[in-house]
Amino acid sequence: MSTKAAPDATRRSETARRAILTAAIDLVGEVGYPKLSIEGIAHAAGVGKQTIYRWWPSKGALLFDAFLAFAGEGEAAALPDTGDLAADLKVVLRATVDELENPRYDRAMRAMHVEIVNDHLLAAEYLSRLDGPMRELKKTRLRSAQRAGQLAEDVDLEVAVDMLFGPVLNRWLHRTGPLTHEYVDQVVDMALSGLAPRP
Amino acid sequence: MSTKAAPDATRRSETARRAILTAAIDLVGEVGYPKLSIEGIAHAAGVGKQTIYRWWPSKGALLFDAFLAFAGEGEAAALPDTGDLAADLKVVLRATVDELENPRYDRAMRAMHVEIVNDHLLAAEYLSRLDGPMRELKKTRLRSAQRAGQLAEDVDLEVAVDMLFGPVLNRWLHRTGPLTHEYVDQVVDMALSGLAPRP
């Protein structure tokens, strides 16, 4: 009998975990980061506060996990690698654009970004828990492209990530232009081939 | 006598205008955009409210003028054009980095950007009064580079501006890395030559 209990408990835990992550995304979009509380999330998710504290040390940590789960649907441990760097980057960036079209995600992400602009500690947590891990996945894909001869050997990967993924973030955050698939395709093509004339 | 009165009045107007712009920058950094008021700016600048309303229709309009004046010191009607695109872009971006090191400017810009993320109307005003005019100056410089054969003919200038100027804005806003002259030099060189290997 005890051999059956373990999977049930695991399933119940996973259900609770998903409910908490979903509640965190929805609540931060509704009330903003300063008013987001572990109590509020526990209430919305139908779990006890202690359940949340057992898994996350702070509301920031919980929220960044929620974004990771939302963005990756829990399965994106790597960027696609078909061998065609431009095509793979376009797939990823088009998916990002589609995500940002989702009002729930848009609201939650804006609530978080507003806070990061002024809160040094949250910015550091963003860096270590969300931006950092995502950046590693991107750099892994770019390293593979370097080995395949599709990316110049001497390219600084930190700067490359900023050039490829920054424009979409900016355009979304500051509403400086339409966020379309065409736009991200242009960013990828221009970043790869460069702005200077090719000989 | 009246021939002397006009220049005096002009000088007094210019002094008042500068006091108002400076007060707007300082106040928004102190109290944030929602609490910024024309009354508060008038008080800090030592002028009457009517003086401000005569020149600006809203606190947003005044603030964007203040940023333009602060960034350009009132004289930057164009980007430098020495004939060397990479060098000129580096000069401009290094100056941007230096500006953002100024705590007064940093605080004021953060206060504004936080608000733009959530306020559609302010975002539109930002676009038409600050981002738009600056973008035109940048595109004019890039067009000149196209004529000089330093920028590919088929490059979309909107995307080019995003790629060249976006990374610094992002890195500053989200504190994802150190904002240095070396960083902006790398951005310019990589954007011009591209990430793909040159044949």
pLDDT of residue B74: 45
Mind listing the domains of chain B with CATH numbers?
Answer: 1-59 (1.10.10.60), 78-199 (1.10.357.10)
Amino acid A116: pLDDT: 85
Highest mean pLDDT among A87-91, B1-5, B62-66, B109-113: A87-91
Cβ–Cβ below 8 Å for A175 and B151: no
Cα–Cα distances in angstroms (integers) from residue A165 to residues A93, A99, B71, in the given order = 8, 14, 26
Say what the ipTM of the complex is: 0.85
Residue of higher predicted confidence among B145 and A14: B145
DSSP state of A197: P
DSSP assignments along A178-193, one per residue: ---HHHHHHHHHHHHH
The predicted structure's pLDDT at residue A74 = 45
Q: pLDDT averaged over chain B? A: 89
Q: What is the mean predicted confidence (pLDDT) over B154-172?
A: 94
Which whole number is the average pLDDT over B7-31?
90
Which is more confident, B168 or A114?
A: B168
Determine, for residues B190 and A117 on separate chains, whether the beta-carbon distance falls below 8 Å.
no
Contact: A190, B123; criterion CB under 8 Å: no
**Average model confidence (pLDDT) across chain A:** 89
The first and second tokens of residue B146, run together, are: 């196209």
Which stretches of chain A score pLDDT less than 70? 1-5, 72-76
| pLDDT at residue number B58 | 86
d(CA B139, CA B149): 15
- Is the separation of the CB atoms in B151 and A196 below 8 Å? yes
B159 interfacial to chain A (CB closer than 8 Å): yes
pLDDT classification of B123: cutoffs 50, 70, 90: confident
* B83/chain A closest Cα distance in angstroms: 14
Alpha-carbon dihedral of residues A20, A22, A23, A28, nearest 10 degrees?
A: 120
Residue A1 confidence (pLDDT) = 46
pLDDT in tens, B92-119: 999 999 989 889 889 898 888 888 887 8
Tell me the two tokens of residue A121: 């500690």
CA distance, residue B60 to nearest chain A CA (Å): 15
Binary contact (A151, B197; C-beta < 8 A): yes
DSSP H or E run through A108 = helix A103-118
Q: How far apart are the first and last CA of chain B?
A: 73
